[in-house]
């Protein structure tokens, strides 16, 4: 079964960058800066299967975490319509659209997501997603978004648990949520008899690659796409793998 590692997931962390204005930079030049270590505060967390009423919280989270992918698919000013198009597509597909997706729930708030895809995961062959995109975005918008979201595909092997949709709300990062989500789907994959886990990550996303390496993943192969580089501004992707035997 082939899966788009961007469309099904937008499965790559979105790095956050802090910009300091130039006047402040000049003012602070030469001064001694003391960093304050902040200890993460444990938060209540439940990892559960995604539900239909999670659609909008999930899509808003993905829009924040994968802003570059949303921008490429729907335009910088079209993310709101993009969210509505994807929500309509998921509603038309029903519960099968969220099959294999899990959320991290903290006091009723969706703060993280992850998906575990397998070779027998049902793909939408009804055309519901295309119709939903055409309805919300129009013909040109639908063609553009579907093309952008389908640039990278992955053929899932029978013994593989393929991970996508790894995302955590910005204010909840560095609390171990992403690692907890990875551990959860690893147990799911083991229960399903899978022999290894696989995922794609942008070669430039060093924090995400470090996270996956700390969880036991290793670089397995490199994939380069000039189209992905042109449209997604990420030309090189690393397929990382973890053996479960």
For residue 163, being part of any structural domain is answered with yes
The pLDDT of residue 32 is 37
For residue 184, being part of any structural domain is answered with yes
The pLDDT of residue 149 is 75
- CATH code for the domain of 141: 3.40.630.30
- Tens-digit pLDDT profile for residues 26-57: 333 343 333 444 455 678 999 999 999 999 99
For residue 37, being part of any structural domain is answered with no
The pLDDT of residue 245 is 81
The pLDDT of residue 22 is 38
- Tens-digit pLDDT profile for residues 164-180: 999 999 999 999 999 99
Structural domain tally of the chain? Answer: 1
For residue 107, being part of any structural domain is answered with yes
d(CA 93, CA 99): 11
Rounded to 10°, the helix 206-214/177-191 angle is 50
The pLDDT of residue 41 is 61
For residue 207, being part of any structural domain is answered with yes
For residue 125, being part of any structural domain is answered with yes
For residue 189, being part of any structural domain is answered with yes
The pLDDT of residue 10 is 44
The pLDDT of residue 145 is 82
Which ranges of the chain have pLDDT less than 50? 5-38
The pLDDT of residue 180 is 97
d(CA 1, CA 174): 34
**Domain housing 200:** 2-10+43-243
């Amino acid at each position: 079964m082939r899966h788009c590692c961007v469309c099904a997931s937008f499965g790559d962390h979105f790095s956050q960058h802090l910009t300091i204005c130039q006047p402040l930079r000049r003012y602070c030049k030469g001064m001694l800066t003391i960093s304050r270590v902040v200890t993460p505060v444990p938060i209540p967390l439940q990892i559960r299967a995604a539900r239909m009423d999670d659609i909008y919280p999930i899509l808003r989270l993905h829009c924040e975490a994968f802003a570059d992918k949303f921008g490429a698919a729907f335009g910088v000013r079209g993310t709101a319509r993009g969210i509505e198009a994807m929500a309509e597509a998921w509603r038309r597909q029903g519960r099968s659209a969220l099959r294999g997706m899990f959320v991290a729930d903290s006091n009723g708030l969706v703060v993280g997501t992850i998906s575990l895809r397998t070779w027998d995961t049902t793909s939408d062959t009804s055309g519901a997603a295309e119709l939903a995109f055409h309805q919300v975005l129009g013909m040109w918008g639908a063609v553009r978004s579907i093309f952008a979201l389908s640039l990278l595909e992955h053929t899932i092997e029978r013994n593989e648990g393929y991970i996508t949709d790894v995302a955590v709300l910005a204010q909840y990062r560095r609390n171990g949520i992403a690692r907890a989500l990875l551990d959860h789907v690893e147990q799911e994959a083991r229960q399903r008899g899978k022999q290894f886990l696989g995922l794609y990550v942008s070669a430039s996303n060093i924090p995400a690659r470090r996270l996956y390496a700390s969880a036991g993943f290793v670089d397995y192969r490199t994939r380069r796409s000039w189209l992905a580089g042109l449209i997604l501004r990420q030309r090189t992707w690393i397929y990382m793998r973890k053996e479960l035997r």
